[in-house]
Structure 1
Amino acid sequence: MMPLKFELFRADGTSDVWTAEPPINVGRQDPSCGEPAMGLFDRNPCGPRLIVAAAINRDVPRYFFSVSAADDSQIRIHNLHPQCELVPTAGDAVPCKGSRSFGGAVELMIRERTTLRISTGRPTSDSSNLYRTLNSQPLDPMTISMQVGDDLATHAPDTGQGQEIVHLLQQVLPVIRESVTTDSFFRAAAFAAVRIAKLNRCIVRLFEGDQFEDRAEVFEDSTADESTSRLRRSAPDVSDTMIDRVRKRGLTQIFDTASPGALEGASLANLSQAVAAPILDKERRVVGVLYGDRWTDLSMRPFSDIEAKLVEILAGAVSAGMARQSEERQRTSMQVYFSDRVAKHIVVDESLLDAKETDVSVMFCDVRKFSSISKSLGPKGTVSFMQDVFTVLSECVERTDGVLINYIGDELIAMWGAPDSQPDHAYRSLTTAVSMFAGIEEIRTRWAEKVCEPIRVGIGVNSGTAAVGNTGSRIKFQYGVFGNVVNVASRLQSATKQFGVDCLVSSNTLAKTDNSFHTRNLATISVVGIPEDIVVHQLVTESSERWQRLSSLYEAALEDYHAMRFADAIQTLGQVLRDNPGDEPSMRLLGLSVEQMRHPSENFSPVDSLTQK
C-alpha cells in the first residue's frame, strides 16, 4: 500500500506535513496513552494515530475519523464520531458513523479555519490538484497600512517587473483608503486587482449568513461600464468550491490550470485560472472574498504567488475599509454621549461600556429662572435659547473628554472617569465648571436684547464610586451612572439656590484636585435622602485680593460657629458684609449665628440642614 500524504493547514498560515501508511486514526491528543500534542504516534492500543490537535482543543473529537485505502487511487474516510459530521472543503459531509471514498485527494475541516489534506500522490481524475493555498496569514484589517510594505518586501522580486507592481500598488492603496467614506472602495479594489494581477474579471462578494451580495464586479475590457463588456458574455461561473475553501480555511486559494502538470489526468470544462482572497472583519472572521479569474489565453504563465499576494493585500484593503466604515458608524452613534477621543476608544474596545463600579465625578448643571425666561421668549424662542445654552455647555464637557449623560428639561448631567479611565476626573470636572461660566458670559451677550432676566447656571459636582454602564434597555441604549455619588451631586446643584452661589463642590471632589482652583469652605450640610453629612465648597472662576480676604474671614467665622463662638462669628461676618453686602453665604451664616445667640440649642450641631431637594 502506497503511503498517504497528510498536510495540516492552520488559520495563521502555518502548516505541518506527515507521510504514513493507512489505516490510521485521526483526532485530538489522548494524554492517557502518552500521545504527543501533534504528530504521528504508533503506540496507541487503538492502532496508529495522527494527532492534529492538542488535548486542550476540545472542539476536535479525540477519535474523530479513520483513513484507509480502498486501492492505490482511492482514499476511504470513516467518521467515528456519533454526533459530529465530518465536512470536506468541497462536497457533501461524511455523516456520523458513516463512510465515503474520495479519488486521490480530499481536504477535511478539522476545526474552524484548520483543514487536513490527505492525498495519495498519484494523478487524479478530479480537480483537487489544481488548487493550492497561499500559506501566509492574511493582513489584519486594523493594521493593513503598516503591514503592506513588509509583505511586499517579502514577496516582490528585485526585478523591474516586481518593483513596477509594488509601485502600482502603492498608487492604488491610497485611492482605496481615501474612498472608504462611500462604497466606492469596493469598486476601486476590484479595478486595482484587474489591473495589477492581469485578471479578466474581479468580484467583491460579501456574505450574510447563507446569502451573499456582489458589491462590485469589474471586467478587464470595460472598467467604466460592465454592460459594454464582451468578456461578460464568455465569463465562466464563479467557482463556489473556491469560495467555500476560502470561507472554511480563511486563507487565499488559487485555482491554476496553467501550472506545469496541473492537467495531468484531469478532465475539466471551462478551464480558467482563479484566485480568491478572504475579506476579514476585525475579529478576523471571513465576511467576504475578493475573487478574480482569467479565462482568455490560458497558455500564459502560471498564477504566481506575488500576483496572489497582491490580490490578498487588496482584499485586506477592503477589510480595512469596511472596518473603518464600521468604526465611523459606531463613533457617530457614540458621539451622542462621548467626545470624539473617548468614542474612538469605545469603538476599539466595546468592553468599556460594560457595567462596572468605578471612581467618577458627576456634574449637574441647571439654568436659573428658566420658567421666567421661557415665558418671555415663547416656545420657539425657548427652544432656540436652550439649544444655544446646551451647545455651549456640552462643548465645555467634550473639551475635557467628559460624558454627556443626559439633558433633562433645563438641566445637563455629565460625568468624568468612565468609560475610559481618567485618574484626574475630579480636576476635569472642575475645569469644565470654570469654562462653563465663561461660556455663559457669551450667552448673556448674545441674548441680552431678548432675555431680561440675568442668565445664570447652578452647578453641583461630587466624586466617588458609582455603577456605570448601559442604564437604558435592550431596545434603547443609554449610557449612565447610578449611586449615591449621583444623588449628592444633584442635591449640591439644588443647594446652590439656598446658598446663593453658582457652584458647589463636595470635599470628596476637591480632595482629588490640586490647589489651582479658587474655593472657600462654605458649610457642612445634610440634605434630604442622603444619610451622610457633606462638606461643601464654593467654586469661583477668579481670585482677587478682595475675594481672598472675603474667603479668609468667612472661613474664620465658620470655624467660630462650629466651636459655638457665636459672638466672634457675628463680629467677623459683620466685617465681611461691610465690604461685600451681597454675599449670601455670609448673610446665611450670620442668621444662623444670631439665632443661636438668641435661642441656644440644647444639642447644637454645626451641620446646616437643608430641607429642599
Structure 2
Amino acid sequence: MIEALNLSVRTGDAADAVTMSLKPGETLEMGRLDASAHDAERLFVPHHVAGIIRLPIATITQTSISRRQLRIEPLPDGRVRITNLSSSIAMPCSGFGTIAPHATVEHPLPLSLRAGPITVVLDADSDDDSRPAGDVLRALANTAEQQESGSFLKGGVLAAVVANMPPAAIDALVSWWRNVIAVLQSASTSDDFFQQAARAVVQLVGLDVGAVFLYESGGWRPACVETMGPQAARPSAGVLRRVLEEKRTFFSRVNAGADVLSSIAAIDTYVASPIIDRSGEVIGAVYGHRSRDLAHAAGAEISYLEALLVQTLASGVAAGLARMEQEKSSLARKVQFEQFFTPELASQLESQPDLLAGRDADVTVLFCDIRGFSSVSEKLGPEQTMNWVGSVLSTLSDQVAATGGVLVDYIGDELMAMWGAPSPQPEHAVFACHTARRMVECGAEIDARWRQVIGSPTQFGIGVNSSRARVGNTGSSRKFKYGPLGGGVNVASRAQGATKYLKVPIIVTGSTRELLDDSFLIRRLCRVRLVNIATPVDLYEVDCSGGRQEMFGQYGTALAAFDAGDFSTTTKLLGNLLSIWPGDGPSLALLSRSVDCMIREPRDFTPVWELPGK
C-alpha cells in the first residue's frame, strides 16, 4: 500500500526546482503562473487553493505549458492518476507514450512526465519499506543526542587519536576543518554561506553534487547547488524525507543492484544532514551525492567522519539562517522605531527594547494643527492637498526630531508629539516649548514653497501640556504606536483647540509653565474650563516674535483687574493696549468678556471662561 508519492520537478539539466510528497487523498495541480490569482503566486512554491495543492512550474511567458496543465492524484494501490488539464498541449510520459489533452490515465510508479522544458519524476514510499530501494541507511545521532550523551572528544583524546595517524592524514584532517571553519565564519558574517556549504560538500567529501535545500510550504527548494560537472542524477526524495521525519544525518552507499527505475538508481553514495531552527524544526538540509557511472567502478563509501563534517556544515548553515532572521527582525524593529524616534533613540531602543514596556512617566505632549485646512483643501483638490499637508508635516516633524521628541501620530492635518519617554528627559517641557517656537518660525520656510500655491500663509495652532501619563504601545498587536495615555493628553489637545478662540499660535497649560525657565517670555491668558474636563486650567502664551514684554505686562495688569471683578478698569486698560497693539487676540477676547460683564452685571461672577468648543 502506498504511503506517500514523492515528486520532483526539474528544469532542463539543472538540479531539482522543487521536491515534495503527496499523501493518498491529496491532489496536486501544476501549470504556469496565474496572473489573475487573488494571492500572488511564486514559481516552484506550492500553495493551497480551492481544496487542492497548486504548484506553478513555469513563468507567465512560457506558453508551452498551460496555466492548468497537469493534475496528479496518488492512489492507494501504488499507482498514480494523471490528468492532462490542457486543451491543446500533449504530455510525453515514460512507459506508455503521450497523454493527450483532457485525457486521464492511471499508471504504476515510478514514471516521469514532460511538460515543455519541465520534467516531473514520480516514485512512491510504501508502508512495508520506508527506505529508498536498494539502500541501507546509516545515521548519525542528532545534535541534541550528542550533547546529552557527552560523545564529543574530551581533553587528551584528540591528541591520542592524532598520534596514530600518518602525517598526510593529519594534513587532510586539518584542511577539512579549516574549510568547515570558513563556512562557519561566513555564516556569522556574510550571506554566501549557502554556496560555501554546498561547495564544501563537493570539495571535502569528494561528491559530484553538493546542495543546500530549504523546506518551505511542504516541499524542498534548492537554495544553492554546486557540481563537479553536468549531472543527470536527481537528489533522493526518500533520503530528504527521512531527514525531515527523523531530524538526523543520513549517509549511505547505494546497492549496485538497485532497480534502475528507482529514484536513486543513478546515485552511488549520498549524505544528507538536517538544518534545524531554534524551535527544533527542520527548515532545510545540506545534501550531497556521487552519481553512478555504470561504465566504471563505484567510488569510495562516505565515512562516519565525512558525514560528521556535513552535519557540522548544516549546523553552520542553521546559524547563518538564524543570524539572517535576527538581522531581518532587527531591521524591521529599527524601521518601525525610526517612524517615531530619532535615529539615535531608535538604536538605543533596538539594544534596550525593555524601554518600550508600558510604564508611568512624566511627559510633555504637544499637538500642532494646521489652520485653514478645510478651505485650502477645497481650493487645491485631493492630490495637491496631500502634497501640501505631507510637505508641512515633514517640516514640523523635523523640528520634533531636532529636540529629541517622539512622533506619536498624525491625525489628518494634526501632529502629536511627546517628550520624556521612552528615555527620561528632565527638561521635557523645555524641549516641547522650544519645538513649538521652532514650528512657528519655520512657517516662513513653508510659505516660500506653498504660499503662491494655496494663496495664503500656512499657520498653526499648538497646544502643550505636562503631566504624568502611561506610556507604551497605545496601538495593537497588529499596528504599533508608541505614545502616552491619560487625561493630560486630552488637556494638551484642548489647549491646542483654545488657540482658535484666543488667536495665538502657542498655548501651554499651567503645569507646563511651572517647568519652564526664564528663557521664555510668557503671559497668562486666562483660566478656562475645557470641554469634558471638569477642573479649570490656566492657559499661557509662549512668545514667538520677541519684543512684547511691555504688552505682556499691560495685559497681565488688565487680567488681574478682570479676575478681581473690576470690569471698568479692565476695559480702560485693554483699550489703551489695543491702541498700541491692535489685533492682539487675547486682549480682544478679554475685552469682549469684560464688556459683556458690564452689561449683564453677573451676581456670581467667576473669572473662569467656558470655552465654546474644542
Picking from 380, 383, 386, the partner of 2:386 is 383
Aligned to 1:221: 228
Aligned to 2:286: 291
How far off its partner does 1:358 sit? Answer: 5.6
Secondary structure of 2:367's counterpart equals strand
How far off its partner does 1:493 sit? Answer: 1.5
Aligned to 2:411: 407
Secondary structure of 1:288's counterpart equals strand
Q: Is residue 276 of structure 1 aligned with residue 274 of structure 2?
A: yes
Alignment of 1:10-29 (within 5 A): none
2:225 alignment partner AA: V
Aligned to 2:606: 605
Structure 1 distance, partners of 2:430, 2:286, is 54
Picking from 523, 541, 544, the partner of 1:538 is 541
8 Å CA contact 1:197–1:310 kept in 2: the answer is: no
Aligned to 1:73: none
Q: Greater CA deviation, 466-475 or 546-555?
A: 466-475
How far off its partner does 1:193 sit? Answer: 5.3
Picking from 203, 212, 221, the partner of 1:203 is 212
Picking from 452, 457, 472, the partner of 2:455 is 452
Q: Is residue 368 of structure 1 aligned with residue 371 of structure 2?
A: yes
Secondary structure of 1:366's counterpart equals strand
How far off its partner does 1:497 sit? Answer: 1.3
Secondary structure of 2:605's counterpart equals coil
2:283 alignment partner AA: G
8 Å CA contact 1:194–1:218 kept in 2: the answer is: no
Alignment of 1:447-486 (within 5 A): 447-466=450-469, 483-486=486-489
Distance 1:128 1:425, change over 3 A: farther
8 Å CA contact 1:368–1:456 kept in 2: the answer is: yes
8 Å CA contact 1:254–1:275 kept in 2: the answer is: yes
How far off its partner does 1:434 sit? Answer: 2.9
**Aligned residue-pair number:** 433
8 Å CA contact 1:193–1:314 kept in 2: the answer is: no
Q: Is residue 583 of structure 1 aligned with residue 587 of structure 2?
A: no
Picking from 116, 130, 141, the partner of 1:131 is 141
Alignment of 1:251-270 (within 5 A): 254-255=249-250
Q: Is residue 555 of structure 1 aligned with residue 556 of structure 2?
A: yes
8 Å CA contact 1:394–1:404 kept in 2: the answer is: no
Secondary structure of 1:525's counterpart equals strand
Structure 1 distance, partners of 2:147, 2:548, is 70
Secondary structure of 2:306's counterpart equals coil
Structure 1 distance, partners of 2:303, 2:541, is 83
How far off its partner does 1:446 sit? Answer: 0.7
Q: Is residue 438 of structure 1 aligned with residue 441 of structure 2?
A: yes
Secondary structure of 2:441's counterpart equals helix
Structure 2 distance, partners of 1:433, 1:197, is 66
Q: Is residue 507 of structure 1 aligned with residue 510 of structure 2?
A: yes
Q: Greater CA deviation, 576-585 or 364-373?
A: 576-585
8 Å CA contact 2:198–2:286 kept in 1: the answer is: no
How far off its partner does 1:369 sit? Answer: 2.1
8 Å CA contact 1:352–1:420 kept in 2: the answer is: yes
8 Å CA contact 1:520–1:538 kept in 2: the answer is: yes
How far off its partner does 1:532 sit? Answer: 0.9
How far off its partner does 1:360 sit? Answer: 4.4
Structure 2 distance, partners of 1:485, 1:379, is 34
Structure 2 distance, partners of 1:346, 1:287, is 32
Structure 1 distance, partners of 2:587, 2:454, is 30
Distance 1:553 1:190, change over 3 A: farther
1:288 alignment partner AA: I
8 Å CA contact 1:361–1:429 kept in 2: the answer is: yes
How far off its partner does 1:368 sit? Answer: 1.5
Distance 1:403 1:447, change over 3 A: closer
Structure 1 distance, partners of 2:401, 2:202, is 46
Distance 1:565 1:316, change over 3 A: same
Distance 1:221 1:517, change over 3 A: farther
Secondary structure of 1:316's counterpart equals helix
- What is the RMSD of the two structures over their aligned residues, measured on CA atoms? 4.6
8 Å CA contact 2:561–2:567 kept in 1: the answer is: yes
Aligned to 2:319: 316
8 Å CA contact 1:337–1:479 kept in 2: the answer is: yes
Structure 2 distance, partners of 1:498, 1:518, is 21
Distance 1:559 1:128, change over 3 A: farther
Aligned to 1:74: none
Identical amino acids, percent of aligned pairs: 29
1:446 alignment partner AA: R
Give the gaps of 5 or more residues in structure 1: 1-125, 138-155, 177-184, 223-227, 247-252, 259-268
How far off its partner does 1:605 sit? Answer: 2.0
Distance 1:375 1:276, change over 3 A: closer
8 Å CA contact 1:360–1:415 kept in 2: the answer is: yes
Structure 1 distance, partners of 2:416, 2:544, is 20
Normalising by structure 2, we get a TM-score of 0.57
